[in-house]
Structures are given as structure tokens and as C-alpha cells.
Chain A
Amino acid sequence: MKLEGEYIFDGPREEVWEILRDPEVLAKALPGTQSLEKVAENEYTGQMHVRIGPVSGVFTGKLVVSDELPPESYTLTVEGRGAPGFGKGTGHVQLSEPEEGKTLLQYEGDMQVGGRIANVGQRLIDTASRSMIGQGLDSLNNALQARLVGEVEGIEVEYVPPSEAKFAAGVARDMAKEMLPPPQTLGIMAVVALVALLLGYWLGSRSQVDSD
């Protein structure tokens, strides 16, 4: 699966770079992240609770930053696995300043997923990933604003990250937008299936209910 996109931060490139490379901020920005620890220079391990449609569970993973060219670009390699399956991918992040005080982040990458998350969440992964990245970047931008205000005013402004529930609701909203049935869908069958999937498929695996 290919992932690509861009995002504009309201701040200078150096500040964006710093915030992107701060594991604490990153952990807060992506709700569901239960831990993110630095284990070596440019290497982190962590746990993240992910829910994509019917599939949810905790992923344990590793994140490696390489080809670092501050404050312009770096490569991210992620590998995660857990009861819902596995995922691994490599992404390239590029930062530029199209105008004073704005930073353009462009990313492209390739992601491979397997297990339950691929088997039953397939048609939701694409939208869910894009939504998660989009929302994650939004909250990083919010964190950036908080930091910038703090710097100007000489005080520490606390950044309040979005709650996991709010985050999940955002993902669901984005997915619902894309689910308006295209003309090719299979009539009532698809609608029944979608409703079933959205409302309750996550109950499907008995044990998952417990792990929630």
C-alpha cells in the first residue's frame, strides 16, 4: 500500500523539525500511543493501540530514523506486530519552506500489512491511515502553536492532546465520508455488509472484546 500526502505547518521549519523529532510530543500527538522509548540514537520502541474498523489491538513496534538531513528530510522505518496482525513500512519525509513562517511537509511511503488487520480491515486501512496521519499532523501543529506561543510569551503553555475517543471519532467520520456507496457497489448487500461492519464487527472475535 502506497501512502503519500502533504501538510502545511504554521511555523518555521526548524521548529517543525524539532517537534517531529521529539518522541514525547509524537507520543502525545498520536492518541493510542501507550509508550514510546528511545532505545538508541534514532531508534525507538513503543506500543500503540490501533483500531481500524473491525480490528483493534495493541501493536508493539520499532521505529528507526535514518538518512537524517536536518532540517530537511529523514527516512522512517516502522515495524509493528500484535494480535491484530503486523505492519511494516518505510516512509520518506521532506520539509520545505514555501513561504516565511510556513513549513510544507511531504511524505511518501510504502506500507505492508498482514494478519487480521489486512484480512478483514482491508478496505478501511487506506482511509483510516490517511485520517490517522492527517489528525496526527493536526495535533502536532497544535502542539507547535502551543510551543511557539510559549516561546513568545516566555511561559510554558501546556499542549492538550486530543483524547483517544475524539481521535477515533475523527477516523470514523473520515471513513464514513468515503463510504457513501459508489455506483458500483452491490446494492443492498453492500449496505447490509457495511452497516454490520460499522456497527459491530469488532465484536466478532470474542477475545478482542476483552482486550479492549
Chain B
Amino acid sequence: MTQKHVGRRMTRTEDPRLLTGQALFVDDVQMPGMLHAAFLRSDYAHARLVSIDVSAARERPGVVAVFTAEDMGDDWKHGPPLVSPPPTVEDIVFHSRTHVPLVKDKVRHAGEPLAIVIAESRYIAEDAVEDIWVELEPLEAVVDLEKALDPGAPLVHDDLESNLAAHLVQEKGDYEAAKAQADLVVKRRIYIDRGAAGAMENRGIVAHWDVRAQQLTLWDTTQAPIPIRNGLAAMFGLSSHQVRVIAPFVGGGFGPKIMMYYPEEVLLTWATLKMGRPIKWIEDRRENFFATTQERTQVHYGEMALTKEGRILGVRHDFLHDTGAYDPYGLTVPLNTQSHAMGAYDVPNYSSELKVVFTNKTIVTPVRGAGRPQGIFLAERLLDIAARELGIDRLEIRKKNLIPPDAFPYEHKIIDQAFAPLVFDSGNYLATLERAAAAIGYEKFIAEEQPRLRAEGKHVGLGIVSFVETTGVGPYEGARVTVETDGRVSVATGVGTQGQGHFTSFAQIVADQLGISPRDVRMVTGDTAEFHWGTGTFASRGSVVAANAINAAALSVRNKVLKLASKILETPEEELELADGQVRVADLPHRAIELGELAAMANPLRGAVEPGTEPGLESTDYFGPKYGATANGAHAMILEVDPETMMIEIKRYVTVEDCGTVLNPLILEGQIHGGVALGIANSYYEQLVFDENGQLLNASLADYLIPSATEIPPIEVLHEETRSPLNPLGSKGAGEAGTIPVPSLFAQALEDALQDYGLEILEMPMSPNRLFELLHEESKTP
């Protein structure tokens, strides 16, 4: 088969609708008789609910209903865990404490919902929220991750003995023995703080129970419509076929739009079932800062043991991971951190003790990067510090330690986020790093440019780091491919789309299999009425798992097409080809039949059916990888710091990505650009600031600084292509690759730019203020 479309820089088929404002987002859904919901949320991070009086709110004209936890009766339940808790293995402690739809006894983070108001308009609903009088008895809040485990610390969950949510130790080899052999052991405390996903579209839901049809429809900004459907059906005693969840166009996901379930999803469903009227809730930006999950806070006590030649003998890190007030997402994020704490390097010995901690803050679930940036930050930072202490060039020390190309599949002998053995499938890590070094002009910069610029008084620094990204995890996705009688092809898959260009790259795959134009593929994603097996869009898996399912289904349809055409054209299948929307005899192109015509023939009339015939040119297939594919890359940048203001200017930014087969380079570049932008935000601009009472102090886009076009530099994207052996397309994910290495890159480049100051950066995010403080501290203690 000739590959015609996969790999092409094709423009997107979904764009005409998106660019003209015609694409449907959840807030665009309008229904007759639709009501609007608003929530009363706790101002306190930790408090006992004494009483709540909603009578004045109920009396306000235009208010249809007000509900509290009490009103839910037996329907009030804790949410189910979103991912399976860890298997019951010795040495794993895991306390599952999931969130509730409305607070019944105790508030555990600011913004937790206390009551829902349903009214004729959102304006009235918000007025009525202010009519509610709630009596909360404030409790001391658990905010600081390390103090949370002190004996006598206030408890987030009163039934537990401490705020420890989970405890897990992972060992590979014998770190202590390796350390005893080492010429150098570097030890540092590393801190990474919280950020928000910051999708431009906040969350939103429209829930409608059609009493006559006995059908529940939910338009939801979710990344995982199928699990939401299955869960809601089970929760409310409905058949799964009575529940349709539609994730239409979603205005950015980045992780937090996958949750099972947000309280609002449960409450709107519960309320529409009770009231039989459609209800809409659209999160506002301030709510988003409390009610939508966040990520990143970890404290690491890290060690790296090395020989004097710079070979890594082992890595150890004991770390605390903040899970917020509840832990519905299990151990996914900190297990990802462990999977990346050895970076892209061949590390024979590893030891890690993880403690997950409950705090009175918003729940933590993956945000683009999902624990990986913290792991890479640890590995890269310790390596940088070791290189400095050993007097080895930072590029050299990396080359010395990268997993060599002949070592794949590389078994890490620890478990990954799916509790399966961590294996890196393939790659050429040296190639990506060398390519990045060449592109940024490493040697020349160090030898000539930097000394020249420094002589001019400029504080210019370079950073170069390597990284891995575990992607494309299971369990599986599926797809249905159908040739329509007009010759066009319909494809349905369960994953939702939040801007990744799925409509286009998936269509390219189908087009190649069936010899049609990708423009003739009609794609449906994220509607459970169209396809209802699968999990969702997360963990950089769309282009791996869903894409391979679509490829498999398209291949099955191709085989059906060939079989039928062979009969009609009286030619062996091997002599047929699919091209230009036709099946034709390869040597005699005039002997051809249109795909649409063939589809009509595949739907036989009475009497023409032979036993065993399946109608239609249609197939449903699934793909589940044995384990996740691991992508790799290297980033390099040159930046200048103004030591007066600490403002930075990024002079150049280069990425080299190896995500296996590239489906569409244009879309891939966009993914990388966006990922890097979030990484830059995580490194120098964005930080959720909580006070000692658990109050978030920057819950608006005026204070939480999402970078604009003047902060994000042009990004040069280069590719290496090492096909993954784990799937027929050879693809690996790339959705998070841009983000993962950026904090470690920033730290190195900032240190390099400010090398006169002997600065060590062991925390992220930095900011002009924080950098100023650090330099000030350094100069006080020369």
C-alpha cells in the first residue's frame, strides 16, 4: 500500500466550522424550557458545616429549586474512584477517599459545593446563591505538604490516623550498594508547585431527562464521554442505552476535563431526572480555579550516585505528592513521576519512597505532563549539579548516560501508572540530543558566542536537556468505519476531541486504507450514541490507541471491499487497487467500480443474501497495546536575563521530538508548540498561590498569568522518527512532550545565564520575583 496521506502536512477538516463560529460547544446548546444552575461554594478550605438555610433563596422569584446534601437523600454518595486503586500488594498503602456531590458534614477545600440553585436564568440563580445563609465552623487548614504529616496536624479525613493517602516504595537493583561504590553523591531538596490547566473554555454541562422518551442526554465538556455514560447509568439505575453523553467541540482539555465524576455532572443529572427539564451549568473562571482539578505539587529529597567519569550508578528520591482533598485519580500522577525520575538514562539502581498526602486544596488529577515534568526535573537537575561538581560538560554527561539504541526494549523493573512493568519500547535517544545540540549550535555558543555576549555585559545562558514521555497507554479504543452509498466514509470513535485535530489525522489513516480523499471522511468523536466502547482522550494516547483502532477498522473494511469487488470485477483480490474512490484492476484502470456503488451492492435485496453474509462495507475494530509506547526528545534554548528586572527574553527555542510515525506534521507541530507554551508558563509565569488558610490568592486571569504571544517565543520543531514496534502504525504519543522537559531546561538555562551568581535552581515555577529573591539570598551568603 502506498502511503499517501499519513505523514502529510494536511490542513484540518474541522477548521471551517471552528473558524466561522459554527462549531458546537456545550454553552451553545439551547433547549426550550432550559433552566440554569449556579452553586454555593465554600469560602473556607476546611470547616464543619453547622447549618444551611436555603429558604430565602427558594422564595426568590424565578428560582425553581434549591438543593442541599440533605435533599439528595439516599442518592447522596461518594464518587467512585476514577482509576482503579492499586492492587492489594504488600508495601502499598492506599486510602481511597473520593469526593461528594454536595458537602454534608465537612468542607475539605475552598470551592467545594454546598448547594445548587436552579432558576429560570443564570442571573437569577446567582442572585439566589447570595440568599443562602450558611453557618460554617472554620477548622485549621492543612496546606503545607510537609507539615501535613506532622503528628498532631489537623486531619483532612477524620477517620484516618494521619493525612497520608498512600505509601509506596519502588526499588530497582540495590541503590545503597551502588551509593557505597560511588565517587560522588549529590543530594538536593527539590520543590515543584501547583498550576492550573487553564483551558480557555471552562467546564460546562447541559443535562436533559426526556421523560417521554425515557432518555437522558448530557452535553459535557468531558475528555471521557463513554466512562461518564457508563458511570451515570449505573449510578442512577438506568440502562446504558438510555444515557447518551456528547462531548461536542471542547475548548481545550489538558487533563482536568477527565474526572469521574465532577460533582456538577452528578448533580445536574440527578436534578434533571427529578425535574424533567433541561438544565445548564457553565463554570465561570473563578469557579474553575477551585472546582476544576489541578496538579504538580511535590517535594523531593533526591540523590544521584555517580562515578567520577560521570556514569550514573543510581538515583534515589523520597517524595511527597499533594493529592488535594481527595484522591479519585489514585496513584497515576506520582507513578508517572517515578517512571520519569531516571529520565532518558540507563540507571541501574533506583529507590523511591512515595508518600501521597491529603491537603485542604482542590483535588489533584493529571494536567498535561501529569507527574512527568517533576520526574524529569529531578533527573535533569541532579545530573546538571553532578556535571558541575565533576567538571564534566553537561552535554557530555548526558551522552554518557542515555539509554543506547540497542538496549530496547529497555526494562526498568519498576511499575508504571498502570501497575504494569515499565518498559521503554524503542528510540534513538542519542540522535535526538545530538540533533538538538547541533540545531542550537551548542559548541559554538559555549566557545564563542557566550563569552562574547558576556563580555558585552549580557547575561545569556543556554539549556539543553533530554527527556522521555510514556504515552499511549491502554486499555483500548475502538472505531467503526462505514462506506456510505455516496462513496464517502463515516468513522465513529469513542475518544473526544479538544483541539488535537483528530478529525483530520484519523481521516488521513482511513483515506490511505480506502483510497479516498481525507475530505470525504465524516468523523464523529465523543458521542456515545455513535460509538460506546472505549475510555477517553488522555495520556497522549489518541494518536496511538484510537488511531490504531481506526486503522484496524479501516483495514477490515478494505478487506471487505476487495472481497466484494473481486467477485464483481471477476478479478483476484491481489490484482485490485483502491484509489480515487474506486476499486479497479491495477493494470486495467477502466475496469473499476465506485466505492459508493459497491456499498450499495453490499446491502443486498431480498433473495440475494447468501447464508453468513454481513451487510454493508462496515467494520468495528479495537486496539489495545501490550504496554504504552515511550516517546523521547530533547529541548534546547538560549535565553537572556536582565539582572535588574529579572525579565527574560528567550532568544531561541529548539525541540527535537521522536514520537514514532508522524501522522500529520502540521498538527504535531501545533501540539509541540502548545506543550512548550504550557511548560514555559509552568516555569516562569503561572503558580497557584495559597495562603496558610488554604485561600487561593490569585483566582483570576488578571492575577494568574497565562502567557500571551509576547512571552512565548518562536519554537523550532525538528523530528526524529523511530517507529514503535507496539502498534501497526508505529506511532507514539506527543501531546505532553512539549511540556515535560521545560522546567528542567529553564533551570539550567537560568543558572547558565546567571553563572556569576553561583545560583542553584531547585524549585519551579520561577518568576521574576522569585528569581530576584534567590539572587538576593545568594548575595547575602557569599
Interfacial residues, chain A to chain B (CB-CB below 8 A) = 54, 81, 83, 85-86, 112-116, 118-120, 122-123, 183-190, 192-194, 196-197, 201, 204-207, 210-211
Contact = CB atoms under 8 A, between A and B. Distances in A.
Contacts of B130: 83, 207, 211
Interface in B700-740: 700-703, 705, 707-708, 710-711
Contacts of A119: 286, 289, 695-700
A114 B695 contact: yes
A122 B126 contact: no
B286 A184 contact: no
Nearest to A210: B127
Contacts of B691: 118
A207 B127 contact: yes
Contact of A207 (B126, B645, B705): B126
B700 A120 contact: yes
Contacts of B289: 119
Interface in B108-140: 110, 122-123, 126-127, 129-130
A120 B289 CA distance: 11
**Residue from B126, B285, B772 with most neighbouring chain A CB atoms (10 Å):** B126
Interface in B747-782: 768-769, 772
Contact of A193 (B127, B695, B697, B705): B705
A184 B646 contact: yes
B768 A118 contact: no
A118 B695 contact: yes
Contacts of A115: 43, 110, 695
A197 B44 contact: no
Given A183-B647, A189-B708, A207-B130, 13 more contacts: A86-B43, A114-B43, A114-B110, A118-B697, A119-B286, A120-B703, A184-B772, A188-B710, A193-B703, A197-B700, A204-B284, A205-B126, A205-B286
Contacts of A185: 768
Nearest to A184: B768
A152 B74 CA distance: 73
**Residue from B284, B647, B699, B702 with most neighbouring chain A CB atoms (10 Å):** B702
A120 B699 contact: yes
B705 A186 contact: yes
Nearest to A189: B708
B693 interface: yes
Contacts of B711: 186-187, 189
B122 A85 contact: no
Interface string B217-258: 000000000000000000000000000000000000000000
A112 B646 CA distance: 31
B43 A85 contact: yes
Interface residues of B, number: 38
**Residue from B644, B695, B705, B711 with most neighbouring chain A CB atoms (10 Å):** B695
B25 interface: no
Contacts, number: 97
Interface string B83-121: 000000000000000000000000000100000000000
A112 B122 contact: no
A122 B690 CA distance: 11
B11 to A, nearest CB: 31
B703 A122 contact: yes
10 contacts: A122-B697, A183-B645, A184-B769, A189-B710, A189-B711, A197-B700, A204-B284, A204-B286, A205-B286, A210-B127
B67 interface: no
A112 B644 CA distance: 34
Contact of A183 (B644, B695, B707): B644
A118 B699 CA distance: 9
A116 B699 CA distance: 8
Contacts of A189: 705, 707-708, 710-711
Nearest to A115: B43
Nearest to B645: A183
B685 interface: yes
A85 B705 CA distance: 23
Nearest to B710: A188
Contacts of B43: 81, 85-86, 114-116
Nearest to B698: A122
Contacts of B695: 113-115, 118-119
Nearest to A86: B43
A149 B530 CA distance: 84
Contacts of B702: 54, 120, 193-194, 196-197, 201
B768 A120 contact: no
A210 B123 contact: yes
Interface string B393-409: 00000000000000000
A111 to B, nearest CB: 12
Contact of A114 (B44, B285, B644): B44
B645 A184 contact: yes
Contacts of B710: 187-189
A186 to B, nearest CB: 6
A206 to B, nearest CB: 5
Contacts of B708: 188-189, 192
**Residue from A86, A119, A190, A210 with most neighbouring chain B CB atoms (10 Å):** A119
A57 to B, nearest CB: 8
Contacts of A85: 43
Contacts of A118: 691, 695-697
**Residue from A184, A210, A211 with most neighbouring chain B CB atoms (10 Å):** A184
A187 B645 CA distance: 11
A114 to B, nearest CB: 5
A189 B707 CA distance: 8
A39 B75 CA distance: 44
A122 B695 CA distance: 10
Nearest to B127: A207
A3 B695 CA distance: 19
Contacts of A183: 644-645, 647
Pick the 10 closest A-B CB pairs, nearest first: A115-B43, A119-B699, A207-B126, A183-B645, A193-B702, A122-B697, A184-B768, A83-B130, A197-B702, A120-B700
Contacts of B772: 184
A190 B695 CA distance: 22
Contacts of A193: 701-703, 705
B658 to A, nearest CB: 33
Contact of A186 (B697, B698, B700, B768): B768
A206 B697 contact: no
B697 A207 contact: no
Interface string B593-612: 00000000000000000000
Contact of A123 (B645, B703, B768): B703
A121 to B, nearest CB: 9
